[in-house]
Every structure is written in structure tokens, then in C-alpha cells.
Amino acid sequence: EQFISNPKSSLWKLSIPMMLGMSVQAIYMLIDTAFIGRWIGWQALAGLGVVFPALFIIMGITFGLGSGSTTVIAQSIGEKNKEKADSFAEHTILLGIVLSIIFIIIGLFLGENILSSQGAKAESFNYASDYFFTMLIGTPFMILGIFFRSILSGEGDTMLPMKVLGFGTILNIILDPPLIAFYGIKGAASATVISQFIVFIIFVYIMVFKNRSYLTLNFRNFKFNKQHLLQIFKIGIPSALSMLIMSVGLFTYNIILSKTANPESAIAAYATVHRIEHLFFIPIISISTSLITLVGMFYGAKKYNLINIVLLHCIKYTLIISTSFGVFFYFYSYKILPIFINDKDVIDIGISYFNIFSFAIPFVTLSMICSRTIQGLGKSYPMFIITCLRVIIISCSLGWYFIVIKDKPIEFAWLSILISCISASIISSIWLLFEFRKLKKL
């Protein structure tokens, strides 16, 4: 009722808490990058660059399946079936344990090949290897921490997991300087693993021993139900696949950059700019995710006019935000990058990226808003198709053509990203107009 009576303010009520939660994580990533880049060196950032796609695959699959878990738990609670909700929560934890074992085995056997195939050499490969295999130890704590948050979100408690994860991030920031000072890049990874372990222990204490949540995790009476697991997969896999495509895109782009004139400098710059541009994505992801909820509610209530109102409001303010970020990155990247890197070549490559990507930012925003609106109308596959077109078919293909086949300068890699973002925004806008035409016929 409140959302229907005031859709515009509802968008901000949903978005702002999410922005604050994501900001804590973004600040940690930036501080971590600055410590590693300034204290250890740009080669360590190149190492991080080749580790990140592998970690992103793990996180993407976990977040995707976690969203499936949140949905089925929320639906079960809505049906007033606590026993079923408890079973979904227990299956989620079991899934987390199995996934952890699978990822650790793959990491141990294929880890070095994954890192070297992206162009990591000599010193940067050693940094990547130290960071990757230390992080691998913390895989169960990271996965189960995300799944505990998904379970609590399913029962409607978003504040408690945000506080716990916020505490873990602050702890990570505190641990970073002393551990990096003594153990280098292994120390940076160790700080993350320790904080993930403590977050995991807090979640176990809250949900298992203190029993503070509505749901009950009681594995003594656990009964395996294949259908419950399949329901989590059915909802979670489309979301996980979109994240997986982005991970494959990062992996491929590292290979493309490894064919440029200064491969390791290019990978280091790409890893750094990705973490900096995450600042821009926080408000856009938060607003577009909230838009899914509102569009879904208005669509379910057959209030189609409210979809138009909230969509136009959303487009207006996200384009203002994204254009502001674009201008900021374009004119101030030469001041931002030296905070994280002390190598002129890497800084220059980073500046060349922002000089081109700054123009892509409004198009990224429009594409994200359109695809999320379509998702709110109950169709998840368009987002997956648009992501696949943007990342793999256009960006990676063009990047490979320009850099590997035509041996063009690195600016052509960034130009490929710009072209892919413009194309995706056009496709998603046309797709949304097509969906709206179908709405008018209802």
C-alpha cells in the first residue's frame, strides 16, 4: 500500500540502505587496493587482476544461488509453512558445504593454470599465487557467510546481516595494514580470510546457538529433499549465469590485455580501475535492484501507470548520477590513480581507460535500468541475453579482433567496451519498449 501510494519515495527507501551496505564493501576494496598498490607494488595489483575473475566466479555462483534461496524461503514463510522454510535453509547450508569442497578441489588442481593462462608472469604470478591459495582457505567461510545472509534476508531481516558483514569489513580494514606490513600480499589475503571466518562464527552463533532468527537450523532431524534443492537452483541459476558471464568476460579481457605492449602493466591498471569504478556502480545497482521489487509489485497489482512513473523517475536520477561520475572520472582520473599506484606506466594506462569509459557510463546505466525493469515484469532471461551480448559477443570479440588480430594500441580495448555498452543500451531499450507494448494490450 505504501509503495503504491508513493512510488517515487519508495524507490529511495529501498535503495539507500542497500547503497550504505555496499559502500562499506567498496571502501574496503579501495583501501585494500591502495595498501597493496602503494606498499607492495603494481606487480601485486597485476597479480590481483588475474585472481579476481576466479574469485568473482565463486562469488557470482554463490550470490546467484543465494538469491534463489532467499526467494524460496520468503515464499514458504508467506505460505506460513515454517517447516518447509527451515528445510530450504538447511539445504542452503548443505549446498554451501558441497560448493566449498568443489571449489577448493578445482582451485588446488587448476589454480596455477587459471592464473598463468591470463598472462601472469614471474613476479606478478608469484603474487597472484600467494593471494589465490591463501584466499582458497577461506572459501567455505565466504560461501557460508553469503548463504547465511540469504537465509536471513528470506525471512525479511536485512539489517542484522548488513551489520554483521559491515563489522567483518571494518575488521578487514583494521587487519590489513599490520598483516600486509609483515606478510605482504599473503597478509592482505589473510586479513580477508580471518574477517570472513569471524563473520561465519557470528552467523553460526546467532542462528544455531542463540537461535535469534525465526528459522531453525536443526540438522539432527534433517531429511534430504531433492525437490527443495532443485527449486533453489531453478530460481538461482539464471542470476548465477549472468555473474558467470561477467567473470568469463574479465578472464578473457585479461588474456586480451596480456597481448598488449605492456601486458602486466595493462592487467594491473585494469584491476585498479575496476575497483575504482565500483563507486559508480553502487548507486546504480542499488536503485536498479530496488526497481525490480517495485515494478514486480506494480505489475502484480496491475498498476501499470505506476511502472511508468517510477521508471521515468529512476532513469532521470540515475542518468544525472552516472553523467556526474563520468565527468568526475574523465577530469580527475589523473589525481585518483596515484592514490593506488606509484608506477607512471600503469597510471597512464588507467587514465586512458577512464578517458574512454567515462563516455560509456550513461549507456551502462540505461542498459541496467531497462534490463532490471524487464526482470521486474517477471522475465529473467532478457538480462542474461543482454549481459551475454554486451560482455562476450561484442566487448570480448571486438577487443580480441583489435588487440590480438589487428595489433592495435590498448585504447582499442577500451573502445570495444564503449561500443558494447552503447549497443547493449540500444538493445535493452528496444526490448523494454516491446514489453511495454505487450502490457498495453493487457
39: its cell numbers:
606498499
Closest CA to 214 of 114, 74, 346, 116: 74
pLDDT tops 70 at residue 1: no
Question: How confident is the model over 373-425, as pLDDT tens digits?
Answer: 887 887 777 888 898 999 999 999 999 999 999 999 999 999 999 999 999 99
Task: Count, in order, helices (H) and strands (E) of the chain.
Answer: 16, 0
The DSSP call for residue 214 is S
Query: Above pLDDT 70, what percent of the chain?
Result: 96
Confidence label for 428 from pLDDT (cuts 50, 70 and 90): very high
How many beta carbons lie within 10 A of that of residue 433, not counting itself? Answer: 10
Residue 244: phi and psi, rounded to 5, are: -65, -40
Question: How confident is the model over 19-56, as pLDDT tens digits?
Answer: 876 777 678 778 888 889 988 988 999 998 999 888 88
Global pTM value? 0.84
Q: Stretch 309-336: mean pLDDT, rounded? A: 94
Confidence label for 76 from pLDDT (cuts 50, 70 and 90): confident
Which residue matches cell numbers 602493466?
Answer: 265
Residue 223: phi and psi, rounded to 5, are: -125, 120
pLDDT of residue 95: 94
Distance CA 227, CA 229 (A): 5
Q: Stretch 135-142: mean pLDDT, rounded? A: 94
pLDDT tops 70 at residue 152: yes
90: its cell numbers:
538447511
pLDDT of residue 241: 83
DSSP track, 93-144: HHHHHHHHHHHHHHHHHHHHHHHHTTT--HHHHHHHHHHHHHHHHTHHHHHH
CA 368 to chain centre: 13
pLDDT of residue 158: 66
Q: How many CA atoms lie within 13 A of 433 on its CB side?
A: 7
Confidence label for 211 from pLDDT (cuts 50, 70 and 90): low
Contact 300, 310 (CB under 8 A): no
Query: Above pLDDT 90, what percent of the chain?
Result: 47
pLDDT of residue 352: 97
Q: How many CA atoms lie within 13 A of 57 on its CB side?
A: 20
- Using CA atoms, how far residue 208 sits from 160, 216, 219, in Å, is 15, 7, 10
pLDDT of residue 442: 65
Question: How confident is the model over 351-371, as pLDDT tens digits?
Answer: 999 999 999 999 999 998 998
Q: How many residues does the chain have?
A: 442
pLDDT of residue 407: 94
Average pLDDT over all residues of the chain: 88
